[in-house]
Chains A and B, each alone.
Chain A
Amino acid sequence: MQGLATISHKQWEREIMSDKLKEQVSAFVDGELSAAEQRLLLANLGRDPELKRSWRNFHLIGAALRDQLPECLDAHLAERVSTAIARDAASASGGSRSYRNWQGLLKPVAGFAIAASVAVIAVLGVRHFEPGAGQGPVIATAPVTSPERGYVRVGSGDRESRSTRTADYLSRYLVSHNEYAASSGMRGMLPYVRIVGYDSGN
């Protein structure tokens, strides 16, 4: 928890970040940037280690305000991003097409192997707030270009809204899956209880 105590508004002030960029990062976190603006911002973030740290702290402050800080923080996130980007660049040229992507997803440093460098940061910015980093889901939108290789996370890192969003997303599959499951397996009280009941209290 020692990382938490050091994050204060003072420190935030010390972070070198122009108002314009600050605004843009804030807008991005809120999902308000256009696709072109997102690309530009992400490109800047990818180039500037200082900015990357600011990005991370921005998220931490936001999470602290919402009382959603994870139990443990990864202090070496920025370094891991750099390493991952380097590895991604190195592995992008060749290698087997099959298992690599899946294996990448299963490690805490998930997604690096497949994601284009700029998108990696967006995914991480959100992943950082998962309880038990790396375990949680990320719903992403396949980007307009190069669909095989990137993820861009949209929307905020808010845990509650994400859990509702995950439930909404999964319910689409469940509508289809339920019919097959109920046609042959154990169907319990009613197969659709989950779709009707899940998160309806929120």
Chain B
Amino acid sequence: MSESSGMTAVTEVSRRLAPAWLLLLAISNPSSAQSDANGPRTWLEEMSQAMQSLNYDGTFVYLHDGKLETMRVIHRADQDGERERLIALTGVPREVLRDDNSVTCILPDQKTVMVDKSLPRKPFPASLPRNLAALQSNYEFRMAGDDRITGRDAKIIEIYPRDKYRYGYRLWIEKAYKILLKFDLIDPHGKALEQTMFTQLDLPARISDKALEAGISGEGYTWHGDVRRASSDATPADRTNWQLGWLPRGFMLTHHNRHQMPVRRGSAEHMVYSDGLATVSVYFEKLLPGKEILQGVSNMGTVNAMGGVVDGFHATVVGEVPAVTVEEIGKGISLRR
């Protein structure tokens, strides 16, 4: 078989399997695809759209700190909105249920149920159309070839951080339906820090209510949080006496409010800063006798947190950013006098 007829065969397969616009991608130059309709931005937007609007039921693995956890996710999107259920298949059968009103975390090992208000999800990346230039000063977007995951063809998109204060991402996006098949959190050198990958995936036309209900009753568990109260309590805040002396380049305040914390007593002043991809929360809570507080830098996989006491308040900086970032932000916190 000659080289040219091989090419034709590939094109034929593409024509049958993929939407017409994919052909356009094949002839566009990937390296100059930054603002291109078929560049990384389009892929990311379509992926985000797909993850919110499709029904899917799949098993995936989560690899972190040398450990491998297996989970199942069931996601339904219809006229009633989005519903999602996440179940641990290995170890303790923890579950998270999410709909348009609330997030419920069932933790059998702690005999605890945490309920919090859910927030509407903007199509990702919400900041891209507005702040593409700003985002590109902190990240480099690359098309990184093709791959196959769980029998499905995928496009690889890489997002490299330009400094040490944020992580990068490597995404495998399914070509036909734009489902995110694999997701790596990477360091500035491209080394994977944490990986999530579907090992089996179905896109059923219908998903029953039952499949989205918790497998654990939560009876006899301690319940924390009240959605109605939480939502009425989340009051926007426009004034604060706290000041942050340092933030990584490109981070801007995206939310600022006061609300109840799941499990914890008392309310918190909560500020959210984002560079469009990475997000850091800063919580200020009044110190109360007997209340558990975090002191120093701590982590949960690639999520880092820093806790400390300033002027009778406990401040917590938390986010999916490197330890140095929460540490530097924490060091810069002070009370305006």
- Which A residues form the contact surface with B (CB < 8 A)? 97-99, 101-103, 105-106, 110-111, 114, 123, 134-145, 147-148, 151, 166-190, 192-202
Contacts and interface: CB of A to CB of B under 8 A. Distances in A.
B87 A97 contact: no
A136 B86 contact: no
A134 B297 CA distance: 9
Contacts of A167: 300
Contact of A142 (B86, B91, B261, B289): B289
B142 interface: no
Contact of A198 (B103, B295, B300): B300
Contacts of B54: none
B229 interface: no
A167 B302 CA distance: 12
Interface in B86-105: 86-88, 90-92, 94-96, 98, 103, 105
Interface of B: 60, 62, 64, 67, 69, 71, 73, 84, 86-88, 90-92, 94-96, 98, 103, 105, 107, 109-110, 114, 116-122, 124-127, 159, 169, 180, 183, 185, 196, 254-255, 259, 261-264, 270, 272, 274, 276-279, 281, 283, 287-301, 303, 305-312, 314, 316, 318-320, 327, 330-331, 333-335, 337
Contacts of A101: 308-311
Contact of A187 (B69, B92, B124, B288): B124
B283 A175 contact: no
Pick the most buried of A176, A177, A179, A202: most chain B CB atoms within 10 A of its CB.
A176
Contacts of A166: 294, 298-300
A183 B119 contact: yes
B305 A170 contact: yes
29 contacts: A101-B309, A111-B296, A114-B309, A135-B296, A135-B297, A138-B294, A139-B294, A139-B298, A143-B289, A148-B287, A148-B309, A170-B318, A171-B114, A172-B261, A176-B281, A177-B281, A179-B116, A180-B254, A180-B279, A182-B119, A183-B121, A184-B126, A184-B127, A184-B254, A185-B277, A189-B73, A196-B88, A198-B64, A200-B88
B105 A136 contact: no
A192 B295 contact: no
A99 B334 contact: yes
A194 B303 contact: yes
A72 to B, nearest CB: 19
Contacts of A178: 103
Nearest to A162: B298
Given A101-B308, A166-B300, A189-B196, A137 B91 contact: no
Contacts of A145: 289
B135 to A, nearest CB: 11
A186 B278 contact: yes
B298 A98 contact: no
B180 A189 contact: yes
A102 B291 contact: no
A168 B294 CA distance: 12
For the complex, would chain B's binding face be called helix, strand, loop or mixed by DSSP majority?
strand
A166 B298 CA distance: 8
A144 B116 contact: no
Contact of B87 (A151, A168, A196): A196
Given A181-B319, A200-B90, A200-B92, A151 B295 contact: yes
A174 B159 CA distance: 24
A106 B327 contact: yes
A136 B296 contact: yes
Contacts of A102: 308, 310, 330-331, 333
A176 B278 contact: no
Contacts of B121: 182-183, 187
A172 to B, nearest CB: 5
Contacts of B312: 147-148
Contacts of B306: 105
A170 B298 contact: yes
A102 B294 CA distance: 12
Contact of A185 (B274, B283, B318): B274
A173 to B, nearest CB: 5
A197 B292 contact: no
Contacts of B335: 97-98
B122 A184 contact: yes
B62 A171 contact: no
A97 B196 CA distance: 44
A184 B293 CA distance: 28
Contact of A141 (B290, B299, B311): B290
A175 B114 contact: yes
B118 to A, nearest CB: 6
Contact of A201 (B87, B91, B95, B293): B91
B75 to A, nearest CB: 9
A185 B295 contact: no
Q: 6 shortest A-B CB distances, which residue pairs?
A: A137-B298, A200-B91, A181-B279, A197-B69, A189-B196, A201-B91
